Structure 1
Amino acid sequence: MSDEVSDRQEETWEPVWLVVANVVRWRRWGDFGQELRPGTKAFTGGTKVHVISTYPGFGDQQVWVVGQARHSRRWVDIKMSTRHLHGFRAKLVHSPAVLRRYDWLQVEREKAEELAVKLDRVAREQRLTYHAGPHPDPCLCHACLTGEASD
């Protein structure tokens, strides 16, 4: 075994508080949101992703996330729309795959919890207002499946 491999095995990572969310199972797509698509292009529905940062200039409508890709199951980081995520929560992340990429992150628990609440609110608002048209019948989008659309 080479020294490089043994060095990587000996690396220890300090856990970091991050916001974690899941990709919606179905999302509205197309003209007036009349089509439904499973998950997103990069992630299958239900995939857990870690929010690395937000884009406050866009009102937190875009976030930078890292998660396991749809087809390859490799860890990828991409910018995606907040409306395609749900279940925002603060979580102490121990995963070396995430921490190895973002060892510069230092987030306090309270800040992660505040951001999770804010992103959840933004995502709900976006899901309800992004597509102007009525929902298709039957509709499997996240807002309809969870009852957000009737709130």
Structure 2
Amino acid sequence: MDESDVSQQEPVWMVAANVVAWRRCGVGGQELRPGTKFFKGGAKVYVAGVYWGPGGERITVAGRERHTSRWIVIDTATRHLHSFRPKLVHTPRLLERLREAGHGYGLDADQAAATSATLEQYARQYRAATAPNSPHPDRCLCHSCLIGEPE
């Protein structure tokens, strides 16, 4: 693909989300870690695919990797993402990377809006299910505590 082909790609509608700043992990959810292994907290990612069979627990996302800032496409837990929203994607390198991974089809605007609402609901549900019987540590920085999300 030469430079002229890359600059003339059609934009596609996708679902964008942000990685949680802090996530609970470890025994009883008492340990906090920033972001995920591959993405910094707050990083914008784009949903490339959802596994609806097991209830949307894991999704395929594309985003800039934590250390190298390269575009990567990986599977991650839905509970590690928040603020799902429809977004028109114009970035040529991202679209190229998604097509290489077999996910560059996009959605229409209505599908993107419906999908983002459903994924936000699932993410809240899965965050609440993380160590449900364990109290949060003092001055907890997890996403649920930072935004005041009900348990």
Match of 2:88, SS?
A: strand
- Per the TM alignment, residue 97 of structure 1 is displaced from its structure 2 partner at its CA by 1.6
Letter in 2 for 1:115: T
Letter in 2 for 1:52: A
Equivalent position of 1:44 in the other structure? 40
Instruction: Please give the TM-score of this superposition, normalised by the length of structure 2.
Output: 0.91
Query: Relative to 1, partners in 2 of residues 1:106 and 1:75: Cα closer, same or farther, differing over 3 Å?
Result: closer
Equivalent position of 1:146 in the other structure? 147
Equivalent position of 1:120 in the other structure? 120
Q: Using the alignment, how far apart are the partners of 1:88 and 1:97 within structure 2?
A: 22
Q: How many residues align?
A: 144
Equivalent position of 2:2 in the other structure? 8
Q: Using the alignment, how far apart are the partners of 2:48 and 2:42 within structure 1?
A: 18
1:17 matched to 2:18? The reply is no
Equivalent position of 1:3 in the other structure? none
Structure with a larger share of its residues in helix: 1
1:109 matched to 2:114? The reply is no
**Among 77, 80, 99, which residue is 1:81 paired with?**
77
Structure with the greater alpha carbon radius of gyration: 1
Query: 1:71-115: CA deviations, max 9, x gaps?
Result: 011111110000000010000000112211234404110000000
Note the aligned Cα RMSD (angstroms): 1.2
Q: Using the alignment, how far apart are the partners of 1:143 and 1:107 within structure 2?
A: 29
Q: Percent identity?
A: 48
Greater than 6 Å deviation, 4+ residue runs: none
Equivalent position of 2:137 in the other structure? 136
**Among 49, 56, 60, which residue is 2:56 paired with?**
60
Unaligned 5+ segments in structure 2 are none
Q: Using the alignment, how far apart are the partners of 1:149 and 1:61 within structure 2?
A: 19
Q: Using the alignment, how far apart are the partners of 1:139 and 1:97 within structure 2?
A: 37
Q: Using the alignment, how far apart are the partners of 1:60 and 1:87 within structure 2?
A: 16
Unaligned 5+ segments in structure 1 are 1-6
Instruction: Please give the TM-score of this superposition, normalised by the length of structure 1.
Output: 0.91
Q: Using the alignment, how far apart are the partners of 1:80 and 1:52 within structure 2?
A: 11
